[in-house]
Structure 1
Amino acid sequence: MRRWSLAGQMLVLQLLVVAVTATGCAVLALVQAHRLLTDDAGHRATAVAVSVAAAPEVADALDDPDPSARLQPFAERVRLSTGVDFITIMRPDGTRLSHPHRSEIGRRFLGNTGPALRGETFTETYTGTLGPSERAVTPVLSDGRVVALVSAGITVDRISAMLRGQFGWGGFIVALALGLGAAGTWLVTARLRRQTHGLGPVELGRIHEHHDAVLHAVREGLLLVGGDGRLTLCNDAARLLLGLPAGAEGRHVDELGLAELTAAGEERVHLVGERVLAVNSAASRLGRVVTVRDTTELQALTGQLDAERGFAESLRSAAHEAANRLHTVITLVELGRTEEAVALGTAELRAAQELTDRVMGAVREPVLAALLLGKSAEAAER
């Protein structure tokens, strides 16, 4: 089975990251929303309880033979207008004087009343007759004495219902984030797929290793110079031919003394130490590519070949001239003019020897002397 490309792996990874991030943010937002709703319920219950406890109707009704007859309708009106789930007015011993369910009037209040009996207002989460609720309990004071208690609260089920109303928005935000993240990720991976030609990390690693091996194995020197004039890469051959120090990559060509060598131009010859280098510099998308070839041995062989060719031409000319002289001498002998033949041969031999002695005496370099003699023979032929 074909392995996933690098772009495909990046797509899956980024989608997972976006999904986890969006889900985590949504969960945190819902937790925060639940906390805010709970706090808001506690504050509202406290405000309602304190308002009811401060109402003159409550203190006046406590003196009636049947306080519930006045307190129950009053508590229900306030409950419906404020949106809380219950308002319970009770005596200090916890006997209910009002309740949303009339059957609970006269029964004991389920919850803590200790702090309220000490004149304090507090909130708590407690499970009563209506189920778990966020409630507030506050005292009703008369002449500094606690004559009654008021409890108001909002059930946890109602808080959860309000929170569930936020799920739709949370789900929409998560879906929107996933959609935008998926679209952005797809665009990035499409570009990455085009640039990597759909190759996976293993294939890319092998290509890099192969190119690196070829780069360091090739005998020609290779330099890559960035647009800012800094050396970005040099292989082993270039380091050896140019005598570059370790850590040359990243340094400017002016600092390395390579400004002239890396300048734009066709193939040129540069003398570096005792080496004759052929340098070719070409522009690329990332800067300049410079190739360096060692032509020292080639130059020496070319010079030697030119000298050998000159010597061969000189020998051919001398041989041709000697053949002409020899043919003349033979013809004179055949004609019976022996003395003239001897005189001609002797004169030619004497002239050649004199020329050789004069050249060898004036020029101490044997190769140069031989070259001059060869040119003399070629000139005599022409």
Structure 2
Amino acid sequence: MTVRRWWPAASQWSLAGQAIALQILVVVVVVLAGSGLALLDARRDGDAAARQQVLGIATALADSPSTAAALESGSATKILQPMTEAVRTATGIAFITIMTPDGIRFTHTDPTQIGGHYLGTLEPALRGETFTEVYTGTLGPSIRAVAPVRAPDGRIVGMVSAGITRQTLAQRWQAQIPIIVAVTVAALGISLLGAWAIRRRLLRQTHGLRPDELRVMYDHHDAVLHSVSEGLIVLDGRGVALVNDEARRLLGLPEGPVTRADLPEFLRSHDPGVRDELQVTEDRVLVVNRALVSEASGGRGRGDRGMGTDEVVTIRDRTELQGALGELSALQVLTDSLRAQAHEQANKLHTVITMVEMGRPEEAVAVATRELELSQHLVDRLSQSLNEPALVALLLGKTAQADERGIALTVTEDTQLPSDIPLTGQEIVTVLGNLIDNALDACDRDEPWIEVTVNQDDEALTIRVADSGPGMDPRTFERAMRRGYSTKSDAAGHGLGLALIAQVVNRHHGTIAAEVTYGSVVTVTVPR
């Protein structure tokens, strides 16, 4: 028959249970060992006190002149027996024996032993020494002291022995056992109470998990932190509690401990509840989410600690996607403009055909030629002055888009761009495209116009976009470059234009400046 234990095996205990069991075992061993040592110490102290007591009594009686006089009077027993018994009774020792140098007793606790031979060591006393020893005599094992008795002329005329039996000493130190037991029980009780309190705290801290479960959880936790493709940061009341590898890469954080001062400005404050917020650093576009720890865990963890000030921050890299979206936006603008031009050209073609059918071919040719010349002149001029096809396509698309919105977009005659520019095609589309988009939204609706200039000299590439809008004051312009800014009422997903421009400019150690002169003018300068 298999007998099942009603308690789980030690390996199945929680970390708190195993730690407390070990602590209780150690406490019990220490307390019991301490109690045993206390008993041994009490016995040792009792023996030492007994030696001092009998030594003092024997020395006092041996040094008393009356003792030597009684030994030489011939009536030693009659004189000394009452005196020694009175001293023995008063001091509580077992015996006081006064004897001749040969060891013949004059006094004894048991009168029948008077006249008998003393049982014990006498040689040191005969040499004039006072000593103590443990010896088994007529009353049993005892601690005794022996002192010589000297006559006035210095002769040894007898000896005094005083002793306490081991049984009496045992009774003395055994009387301390109840006190020692009480202290032991109190110490065990306090220790167990403290262990119980520690166990409760450990259960809350470890959620009642076993050591193997904690190890597996740590291994999984460490593996996830190092392999997850999103940046993860945990913030608590003391600072940064945790940063994974991806977060260090995305934010350019140093190795080792990270403080709040190392984080970008948008992460230094306590701001839970942010969802899919776009943030721009010097070289990246990031999507940031922030939540309280209790919210992130769903509040379902065992022993929930309710850490209301702890935040979990997740970060996703959107840099490449943002660049692709910029290029797609430029292509979309070009596609829309081509669609609009196709529609417009269809209208003009119908007009030309109708004029031919009306018998007015000369006027039809003039209309078709004039429109073709205007459009072709812009295409030819941009193609000849700009050696970047993406930029040509962008300007043609933005010109058509501005024309649809009733805005006069002019590319100045100063626009010249060689092939060896410091920016890539994607970067120059990002910079100029966002500047023109901002100008399209910000120009004066009563007198809408935009002026674009792109040129490069021996020192720098200059991109200048002016519009008829009111412009921004320096503080607003600075904020727009750091965190994004939009004048639109539905700014969700907008407001990254200047921040993306600033990102490209900073990457190439350039400058971006805004001023209000003949209009709102934004100038980007990138050194070659």
> Under a length normalisation based on structure 2, what TM-score does the superposition of the two structures give?
0.63
Task: From 377, 394, 397, give the equivalent of 1:368.
Answer: 394
1:1-382 mapped onto 2 (5 Å cutoff)? 3-63=12-72, 65=74, 67-143=76-152, 144-224=154-234, 227=237, 232-245=241-254, 248-250=255-257, 252=259, 254=261, 256=262, 258-260=263-265, 262-264=267-269, 267-273=277-283, 275-279=284-288, 289-327=312-350, 337=357, 339-340=359-360, 342=361, 346-363=365-382, 364=386, 365-372=391-398, 374-375=400-401, 378=404
Q: Which moved more, 1:211-220 or 1:148-157?
A: 211-220
Structure 1 377/119 Cα, relative in aligned 2: closer, same or farther at 3 Å? Answer: closer
CA distance in 1, matches of 2:253, 2:81: 99
**Partner amino acid, structure 2, of 1:213:** A
Listed one character per residue, the Cα deviations across residues 200-228 of structure 1 (whole Å, up to 9, x for unaligned) are 11111111111111111111223345656
CA distance in 2, matches of 1:347, 1:379: 27
Q: How far has the Cα of 1:291 moved from its partner? A: 3.7
Secondary structure, counterpart of 1:88 in structure 2: strand
CA distance in 1, matches of 2:88, 2:214: 71
Could you tell me which runs of 5 or more consecutive residues in structure 2 were left unpaired when the two chains were aligned: 1-7, 294-306, 407-528
Q: How far has the Cα of 1:174 moved from its partner? A: 0.6
CA distance in 1, matches of 2:200, 2:402: 77
> Under a length normalisation based on structure 1, what TM-score does the superposition of the two structures give?
0.86
Structure 1 185/148 Cα, relative in aligned 2: closer, same or farther at 3 Å? Answer: same
Number of residue-to-residue matches in the alignment: 370
Higher helix proportion: 1
Structure 1 151/171 Cα, relative in aligned 2: closer, same or farther at 3 Å? Answer: same
Structure 1 373/26 Cα, relative in aligned 2: closer, same or farther at 3 Å? Answer: closer
Q: How far has the Cα of 1:171 moved from its partner? A: 0.7
Q: How far has the Cα of 1:313 moved from its partner? A: 2.5
Structure 1 376/115 Cα, relative in aligned 2: closer, same or farther at 3 Å? Answer: closer
8 A contact 2:233–2:313 mirrored in 1: yes
Structure 1 112/352 Cα, relative in aligned 2: closer, same or farther at 3 Å? Answer: same
Structure 1 351/375 Cα, relative in aligned 2: closer, same or farther at 3 Å? Answer: farther
8 A contact 2:99–2:158 mirrored in 1: yes
Secondary structure, counterpart of 1:272 in structure 2: coil
**Partner amino acid, structure 2, of 1:101:** D
8 A contact 1:242–1:272 mirrored in 2: no
CA distance in 1, matches of 2:107, 2:405: 143
Secondary structure, counterpart of 2:117 in structure 1: coil
**Partner amino acid, structure 1, of 2:320:** E
Secondary structure, counterpart of 1:8 in structure 2: helix
Q: Which moved more, 1:154-163 or 1:322-331?
A: 322-331
CA distance in 1, matches of 2:280, 2:73: 119
CA distance in 1, matches of 2:229, 2:159: 99
Structure 1 360/328 Cα, relative in aligned 2: closer, same or farther at 3 Å? Answer: closer
Structure 1 348/160 Cα, relative in aligned 2: closer, same or farther at 3 Å? Answer: farther
**Partner amino acid, structure 2, of 1:353:** L
Structure 1 344/290 Cα, relative in aligned 2: closer, same or farther at 3 Å? Answer: farther
Secondary structure, counterpart of 1:100 in structure 2: coil
CA distance in 2, matches of 1:63, 1:369: 142
Q: How far has the Cα of 1:355 moved from its partner? A: 2.0
Q: How far has the Cα of 1:281 moved from its partner? A: 6.1
8 A contact 1:221–1:237 mirrored in 2: yes
Q: How far has the Cα of 1:331 moved from its partner? A: 6.1
8 A contact 2:232–2:312 mirrored in 1: yes
RMSD: 2.9
CA distance in 2, matches of 1:291, 1:120: 90
CA distance in 2, matches of 1:353, 1:118: 146
CA distance in 1, matches of 2:75, 2:185: 58
Could you tell me which runs of 5 or more consecutive residues in structure 1 were left unpaired when the two chains were aligned: none
**Partner amino acid, structure 2, of 1:33:** A
Q: Which moved more, 1:167-176 or 1:288-297?
A: 288-297
Secondary structure, counterpart of 2:53 in structure 1: helix
Q: How far has the Cα of 1:240 moved from its partner? A: 2.4
Q: How far has the Cα of 1:127 moved from its partner? A: 1.4
Structure 1 349/332 Cα, relative in aligned 2: closer, same or farther at 3 Å? Answer: closer
Q: What residue in structure 1 maps to residue 300 of structure 2?
A: none
CA distance in 1, matches of 2:259, 2:268: 13
CA distance in 2, matches of 1:374, 1:332: 26
CA distance in 2, matches of 1:207, 1:105: 86
8 A contact 2:352–2:367 mirrored in 1: no
CA distance in 2, matches of 1:291, 1:13: 41
8 A contact 1:42–1:123 mirrored in 2: yes
Higher RCO (C-alpha 8 Å, min separation 6): 1
Q: How far has the Cα of 1:39 moved from its partner? A: 1.2
Q: Which moved more, 1:12-21 or 1:283-292?
A: 283-292
Listed one character per residue, the Cα deviations across residues 183-204 of structure 1 (whole Å, up to 9, x for unaligned) are 0110111111122111111111
**Partner amino acid, structure 2, of 1:262:** L
Structure 1 100/378 Cα, relative in aligned 2: closer, same or farther at 3 Å? Answer: same
Q: Which moved more, 1:130-139 or 1:55-64?
A: 55-64
